[in-house]
Amino acid sequence: MERGRALRPSGDLGVSDITIYHNPNCGTSRNVLAMIRASGAEPEVIEYLKTPPGRDRLVELIAATGLPVRDVLRRKGTPYDELGLDDPKWTDDQLIDFMVEHPILMNRPFVVTPLGTVLARPSEKVLEVLPDAEKVGTFTKEDGEVVHAVGGKRQ
């Protein structure tokens, strides 16, 4: 799998080399945070619904993942349908504007590390950019699914 490109973590350098844009109400986001901590790291946690990234940072995050803008949009539990975001008339810039105005439209969690940036869906995708992913070992997600991190990769 291809990793996202490296992007400097936000905020004060030295706080952490890892940043997670987190939603504590999301099981996937909680699993990712737990995997990061299981690797021995304490990330900078940004609850993006309380402190959303600015437009420039959001553009950087999306570009760093290598994903198309539409792949970053979240539909469930958001104003996606009422805004008509399925319509191909919306440009990437317009879709980003919608995410800035309605941060709930951002899928999550984004994780930024010295090894790259990913939208960690599924949660084990974080292993691709976690510097000490092998320390995660065997991890049981909230739903009971077991992930084996061997050599920093899911097995």
**Is 118 noted as a catalytic residue in this protein?**
no
Q: Which residues, 6 or more positions from 47, have their beta carbon under 8 angstroms from its beta carbon?
A: 22, 23, 24
| Active-site entry in 26, 61, 85, 119 | 26
| Active site members | 26
